[in-house]
Amino acid sequence: MRSIRWRLTIYHALVILGIAGLLLGIGLFAFYRSVTTAVEETTRSRVIETERLLETGTFPTTEQLMPLTEGGVYLVIRDANGTKLAEVGSPPGGFDNLDETSQAQLWEVVLQSGQPESASPDELYSYAAPVNDGASGAAVVEGWKSADTAAEGFLPDVRVLTFLVPAVILLAIGGSWLLVNSALKPVQQITESARQIGDESLDRRLPVERSDEIGELAMTFNDLLARLEIAMNERDDVLDQHRRFLADASHELRTPLTAIRGYTAMLAGWGLSDPAIARESVTAIDRNATRMSMMIEQLMLLARGDDPDLSPNLSRIDLAELVRGAASDASHLAEDRISIVTRTPETAFAEVDGMQIRQVLDLLLDNALKYTPDGGTIAVDVTRSPGMVAVIVTDSGPGIPQDQLPFVFDRFYRADPSRSTPGAGLGLAIGKQVVARHGGSLTAENAPQGGARFVMRLPSGGSIPVSPGMPAIPHSRPATPSTPRQSAAGSKVPDPEPPAPAG
């Protein structure tokens, strides 16, 4: 494959030579016309002057006619019979090669017509005019001149042209080569710089020293490098997350699997002969198998959630009713140990997948039940604002250390021992993923009065007026003596004191 440098060089050289050839052709044509015109005008003027001398009635002498032959003009004076009365000057080149018929043709035409005539036989120019006064005995004056002879004094020597033409060609090629090299030098610099950029140096950028198309190319390449660097960093982050995920999943699954294998070995060794040990082993095996099954289901749910083609089945759902139902079910699990209070408007519609959001609510309530001590309270608030519905779940547990708040939604993450309970640490990660699929957000914070607060914000699918005394995202407070508490969540209660707005 030919180099673009050579292709451009040849193209530019051909263009230059073409333009030079065109200009040369125009120049030669103009030169030829100029020489031809000069030959014609000179020959005519000398013939006319000779005619005037003859019309004076006396035949001019050779000394009088010689000045009229300067510049290579050959004069011939003839009588009415065509006989040469005088020949002045030297015949031009090629004249002697003409036969007598060609030489006599012009003056015969002039004698017959009585008008001046011209002819151009074999690169010669001839002009003949009649003599009106026959006192001198002359009837016709002929003038001959060679255009080639006239041009020889202006044309350069052939040897000069022999060296000049190759020099012009070499100059055109050399100039084109330098021009192309100068134009492609920035491209070569970009190429060399790009070759030095690898996986470990994606932060490097090409120099942008020009504001033309080459500079635009460098800036475009830099933009590509920036996007590639971001993509590579994201890829590395994803790979790190996957490695941590696999390590954590292996660790979490290994614990119940080890317990199952231990109890199985105990049963096989001596447990079957002791009913108490057999019951304990079977119970432990069932408990750990259930834990593994739940963990695997959660892992599969996370894997499905990573599928970009998976989207929730949206419909218009009353979140207030959904929250009351979830809280009612959770209150049965809490029995009388923990009080669950719901504070919701009559309705709070949103465009969501009801089953998925109910799953998130169950996860948040289950998380709150784990960390709320006996006698504590869980408050569930639903608030509305234009285009948004918020669900706030606040427990009265120990709260989350500030340094651990950014990690509570990480997979397999569990807080410090004060909030550690059995579980794989996948629930909150699943909840955040589901809410993000809906275009909402799930955040965690500590309530000012203590305990953890989780806020789920979901798009309502339209502008919903804010109810008086119901701010968009309140800080829920635990039930006070002036606010009746519920033993079964979901029943209507008087409106509590308006909670403080979120910070």
Q: Are 232 and 202 in contact (CB under 8 A)?
A: yes
| Predicted pLDDT of residue 151 | 60
At residue 31, does pLDDT exceed 70?
Answer: yes
Q: Render pLDDT for 162-179 as a digit per residue (tens, 0 to 9).
A: 677 777 778 877 877 787
Percent of the chain clearing pLDDT 70 (strictly above): 78
> Three-class SS of residue 295?
helix
| Predicted pLDDT of residue 257 | 86
At residue 468, does pLDDT exceed 50?
Answer: no
Distances (CA, A) of 303 to 245, 292, 297: 11, 16, 10
Question: 350 has which bridge partners?
Answer: 317
What ranges do the domains of the chain cover?
Answer: 4-152, 213-305, 315-501
| Chain position carrying tokens 């799953």 | 359
| Predicted pLDDT of residue 497 | 35
Q: Report CA 242 to chain centroid distance, whole Å.
A: 31
Q: Render pLDDT for 215-257 as a digit per residue (tens, 0 to 9).
A: 777 788 788 878 887 888 888 777 877 777 677 667 667 778 8
pLDDT band at 380 (very low <50, low <70, confident <90, very high): very high
At residue 489, does pLDDT exceed 50?
Answer: no
| Chain position carrying tokens 């003599």 | 131
- Residue 187's Cβ-count burial label (10 Å; 0-12, 13-18, 19+) is middle
Q: Which residues contact 230 (CB under 8 A, 6 or more apart)?
A: none
Domain 213-305 annotated CATH 3.40.1390.10: no
Q: Which residue has the higher pLDDT, 25 or 371?
A: 371
Q: Which two tokens stand for residue 84?
A: 């040469």
CATH number of 315-501: 3.30.565.10
Q: Domain 4-152 has what CATH class?
A: alpha beta
Q: Which residue has the higher pLDDT, 348 or 467?
A: 348
Question: 385 has which bridge partners?
Answer: 388
Residue among 148, 146, 154, 155 nearest 43 (CA): 146
At residue 402, does pLDDT exceed 80?
Answer: yes
Question: 142 has which bridge partners?
Answer: 76, 128
Q: Render pLDDT for 289-342 as a digit per residue (tens, 0 to 9).
A: 887 887 777 677 666 655 555 578 889 999 999 999 999 988 888 878 899 999
Highest mean pLDDT among 250-259, 349-358, 473-482, 487-496: 349-358
> At 328, which amino acid appears?
S
Rg (CA), the chain: 55
> Three-class SS of residue 148?
helix
| Predicted pLDDT of residue 323 | 95
Q: Which two tokens stand for residue 316?
A: 């218009």
* Dihedral angle over CA of 65, 69, 75, 77, nearest 10: 0
pLDDT band at 479 (very low <50, low <70, confident <90, very high): very low
At residue 471, does pLDDT exceed 50?
Answer: no
| Predicted pLDDT of residue 306 | 55
Task: Give the integer Cα–Cα distance in Å for 338 and 329.
Answer: 13
Highest mean pLDDT among 99-113, 360-374, 462-476: 360-374
| Predicted pLDDT of residue 347 | 92
Q: Render pLDDT for 182-201 as a digit per residue (tens, 0 to 9).
A: 777 777 777 777 777 776 66
- C-alpha angle with apex 441: 499 to 398, nearest 5 degrees? 55
**How many CA atoms are closer than 13 Å to the CA of 25, on its beta-carbon side?**
6
pLDDT band at 418 (very low <50, low <70, confident <90, very high): very low
DSSP string, 389-405: EEEEEE--S----GGGG
* Among the ranges given (178-187, 276-285, 344-353, 365-374), the one the predictor scored with the smallest mean pLDDT: 178-187
pTM comes to 0.44
- DSSP secondary structure letter of residue 494: P
- Crossing angle of the two packed helices 275-305 and 427-437, in degrees rounded to 10: 30
Q: Which two tokens stand for residue 305?
A: 């959630």
| Predicted pLDDT of residue 152 | 59
Q: Which residues contact 253 (CB under 8 A, 6 or more apart)?
A: 292, 295, 296
At residue 465, does pLDDT exceed 50?
Answer: no
> At 370, which amino acid appears?
K
In the chain, the N- to C-terminal Cα span, in Å, equals 68
Same fold, 4-152 and 315-501: no
Task: Give the integer Cα–Cα distance in Å for 232 and 240.
Answer: 12
Please count the residues of the chain.
503
Report the mean per-residue pLDDT for the chain.
Answer: 77
DSSP string, 1-26: ---HHHHHHHHHHHHHHHHHHHHHHH
> At 118, which amino acid appears?
S
pLDDT band at 346 (very low <50, low <70, confident <90, very high): very high
At residue 359, does pLDDT exceed 50?
Answer: yes
At residue 153, does pLDDT exceed 70?
Answer: no
Task: Give the integer Cα–Cα distance in Å for 17 and 22.
Answer: 8
pLDDT band at 10 (very low <50, low <70, confident <90, very high): confident
> Three-class SS of residue 343?
strand
